Amino acid sequence: MLTVLRHIVMRFTAHSRFADAVKFLVSEVKSAMRADVCSIYLLNPQRSAYVLAATDGLNPAKVGNAVLALDQGLVGFVGRRAEPINLQNAPSHREFHYIQGSGEEAFHAFLGVPIIHQRRVLGVLVVQQSDARKFDEAEEAFLVTLAAQLATVVSHAEAVGDSALPQISDANRVDACFVGVPGAPGIAIGTAVVIHPVANLEAVPERQTDDIVVELLSLERAIAQVRQDISNIIEQFSDSLPKQELALFDAYLHMLDENALAGDIRAEVRLGQWAQGALKKVIDEHVSRFALMEDPYLRERGADLKDLGLQILAHLQNIRQKKTVFPKDTVLVAEEVTPAMLANIPTERLGAIVSTKGSGNSHVAILARAMGIPAVMGAIDLPTYQVENEVLLVDGHYGEVFASPSKKRIELSRELIAQEKVFDEELMQLKDVPCVTKDGWRILLWVNIGLSSDLTRSLDRGAEGIGLFRTEIPFMSQDRFPTEAEQRVIYREHMAAFEPRPVTMRTLDVGGDKSLSYFPINEDNPFLGWRGIRVTLDHPEIFLVQVRAMLKANAGLEGILRIMLPMISSLSELTAAKALINRAYDEVTEEGFEVKRPSIGVMIEVPAAVYQARALARESDFLAVGSNDLTQYMLAVDRNNPRVAQLYRDVHPAVILALRDVARAAHIENKPLGICGEFAGTPVGAVLLMAMGYHVLSMNATHLPKVKWVIRQINRSDAQRMLAKVLQMQSAEAVSGYMFQQLTDAGLGRVLPHHHT
């Protein structure tokens, strides 16, 4: 039963048309359970009723016509109870309601399970049988599992307004909203371009093509490339591999012959299926045939076939990916948007980003904010394959994505976009004025930087220094570690542009969610693993090259070089890093470079560092809080996991207390104190941190003007009064509610997210 279940689920989710998917499901379930009837009833919210959406066994003419009120029949009963109902003799049950002309009178056994998505009943899945018998527990579990799969598909179909859904009203069809979490603020309307994960046969949807010739050609090319790959292997290993192994590769080549796989796939394409869909179908069929074989050797060959299929798919997708065009206002959609993807799209064409994984604190979201591109993260339910080329409206303030948005919503959003533009232009006037409170308290606003395209934006917006250069970003867009000379060029470009302002270079911070393709780290708990300073202390050769590049890049400049160490969790790490930096300094001066000694600072990102902040401050030149990681580690909430995104609160009282304690420690040791987490770039964060006595707030260029606008309109004494109140509060909700009210009362409501409409 388990293999049958897996088979049904796989094939079911592969159907791209809802109508085909449900039809497939009812007939498969009917035969798998040896039942006489399987039907799906779906809720029509407008008519407050269940409508028969698919059936195998009842009168097919009733599909779309048979309607049961919410309180009618066993279907209504299952829906109300939101639990399975399993009956031996349905017609004798008090809730039974006979639908005229359905042919239902002949059936006694009844098993109905609710289709529930996110706690909402969407419909009921029913099997019936003429014998008066009770379905057993295994059958019930089988149906419940399928209903859970069905729920996701129904909710997707509902959201994209699938016309095959029975009588979903226009009111429901428009404004289909997928909720994620805010990634980067702003609203954008554009065309979805979906980047699919590479070579995942299971995820390939069925799709009709109108250009069979093109599909046949790309198939031919892909197969030829795979043949070539295999021939290369045979040639390369002809001397070293045993004959038996080599024969296997020959067998692969035969499998690709016209009278084997190639011919079958081609035949599917000729029937109108696109090449990837045809490939998947043929491979699936062959693999399931092998899976049934007794002989273990032959069963193994199924795995070979699958592997071969993947190789063809990879070539097919490469062919397609090369052709990807990015229209104006592209909404980039992917299961997991990566920094590398962003680097490959012309910035002027990128309108918004939607990722079904990740959350607002993922590095991609941080990059999106720096680029000023609205982004929604963790939109788990968005059916990526179905929104390709569709118009999407992305609201980065609230983390919402609207598929097929209504005219009204588009108009409203255009208005908000225009308002934001006007405000942005107004803010640009503040570029050259200092960031000082009404009562004369001066703080510094610096930028977080990573992509070179941030440079001009940062200077245009009046950044007074670089507070965080995420050096791993240039490392990510390479296919090997960059050399000292290459790094030096990139660093110099930034330092020269900011001259004579200070530049804070963070040493390589990989691990966690930031990986280098050429330096893979596989761990069960990457955020608690080999990350940041832990990696570079274990690889002094990488660390030294980087520090030397920083020092040399700074040679001859007035601007101070500040070197900042990520993920410090004990003093010994600071001591070891300082020793390496000193060594690099000696080497560079020996080489004849005239370089100043850099300032060395510690990032406070781990709770341990909060408690040792004084000692760390004493041993270093400055402290900078990385509140993104500090929040994640204080609250034990993975910053990337959308499921717990609601728990990730930078205004959590524990986080606020930690930030205040670090400030005290730095003040006692009389060391400069900065913060470069995202909290610094929020109006609430900026006001509270200024009150605590943080000297430098470092943030992305996008947020900088707004923060300056807020700070310039407030008294430090008022901010300190607010902080005193906040320090008494016991929940994140209380803090944000209070601060929103205070800022609104102070006439600063314009920088708070717009009110929901």
Instruction: List the beta bridge partners of residue 111.
Output: 86, 127
Question: Is there binding between residue 628 and ligand PEP (CB under 6 A)?
Answer: yes
x/- letters, 314..353, toward Mg ion (CB under 5 A):
----------------------------------------
Q: Which helix (H) or strand (E) holds 3?
A: helix 2-14
Exactly one of 363, 397, 494, 652 is catalytic; name it: 363
Q: Classify residue 443 by its DSSP letter.
A: -
The answer to whether the beta carbons of residues 401 and 177 sit under 8 Å apart is yes
Least separation, in Å, of the C-beta of 511 and ligand PEP? 10
Stretch that binds Mg ion, among 74-82, 437-445, 554-562, 629-637 (CB under 5 A): 629-637
Question: Is there binding between residue 677 and ligand PEP (CB under 6 A)?
Answer: yes
Does the N-terminal peptide bond of residue 500 adopt cis geometry, omega within 30 degrees of 0?
yes
Q: Which of residues 358-417 bind ligand PEP (CB under 6 A)?
A: 366
Least separation, in Å, of the C-beta of 468 and ligand PEP? 6
Least separation, in Å, of the C-beta of 567 and Mg ion? 7
Least separation, in Å, of the C-beta of 676 and ligand PEP? 4
Can you tell me the distance from the alpha carbon of 14 to that of 18, in angstroms, rounded to the nearest whole number? 10
One-letter identity of residue 228: Q
The answer to whether the beta carbons of residues 393 and 405 sit under 8 Å apart is yes
Give residue number: closest CB to ligand PEP.
Answer: 626
φ/ψ (deg, to 5) at 749: -60, -20
Complex with ligand PEP: residue 188 or 606, whichever CB lies closer? 606
Stretch that binds ligand PEP, among 227-235, 266-274, 438-446, 626-634 (CB under 6 A): 626-634
Complex with Mg ion: residue 626 or 685, whichever CB lies closer? 626
Exactly one of 117, 494, 676, 695 is catalytic; name it: 676
- The residue within the footprint of ligand PEP, chosen from 158, 629, 638, 650 (CB under 6 A), is 629
- Residue 676 annotated in active site: yes
CB-based contacts of 97, cutoff 8 Å, min separation 6: 68, 72, 73, 74, 76
Least separation, in Å, of the C-beta of 339 and ligand PEP? 11
Task: Write the burial class of residue 739 (CB in 10 Å: 0-12 exposed, 13-18 middle, 19+ buried).
Answer: buried
* Residue 229 Cα to chain centre, angstroms: 33
φ/ψ (deg, to 5) at 697: -110, 120
Its sign, for the CA torsion 217, 222, 223, 225, is: positive
Question: Is there binding between residue 281 and ligand PEP (CB under 6 A)?
Answer: no
573 binds, among ligand PEP, Mg ion, none (CB under 5 to 8 A by kind): none
- The residue within the footprint of Mg ion, chosen from 56, 175, 629, 638 (CB under 5 A), is 629
- The residue within the footprint of ligand PEP, chosen from 357, 369, 461, 470 (CB under 6 A), is 470
- The residue within the footprint of Mg ion, chosen from 372, 511, 626, 683 (CB under 5 A), is 626
Least separation, in Å, of the C-beta of 506 and ligand PEP? 8
Question: Is there binding between residue 627 and ligand PEP (CB under 6 A)?
Answer: yes
Stretch that binds ligand PEP, among 627-635, 657-665, 688-696, 710-718 (CB under 6 A): 627-635
Q: Cα dihedral angle (85, 91, 96, 98), rounded to 10 degrees?
A: 130
Question: Is there binding between residue 676 and ligand PEP (CB under 6 A)?
Answer: yes
Q: Cα dihedral angle (458, 464, 467, 468), rounded to 10 degrees?
A: 20
x/- letters, 416..455, toward Mg ion (CB under 5 A):
----------------------------------------
Smallest Cα–Cα separation from 562: which of 486, 492, 621?
621
φ/ψ (deg, to 5) at 138: -65, -40
Complex with ligand PEP: residue 276 or 627, whichever CB lies closer? 627
Complex with ligand PEP: residue 129 or 628, whichever CB lies closer? 628
Instruction: List the beta bridge partners of residue 181.
Output: 377
Number of residues in the chain: 757
Q: Which of residues 340-369 bind ligand PEP (CB under 6 A)?
A: 366
Which tokens is 420 given?
A: 């934001």
Residue with tokens 């104006």: 328
* Structural Rg of the chain based on CA atoms: 30
Read out DSSP for 205-233?
Answer: PP-B-S-HHHHHHHHHHHHHHHHHHHHHH
Smallest Cα–Cα separation from 9: which of 36, 37, 34, 28?
28
Complex with Mg ion: residue 502 or 626, whichever CB lies closer? 626
Q: Which residues form the interface with ligand PEP (CB under 6 A)?
A: 366, 468, 470, 509, 605, 626-629, 676-677
Annotated catalytic residues are 363, 676
Q: Which residues form the interface with Mg ion (CB under 5 A)?
A: 605, 626, 629
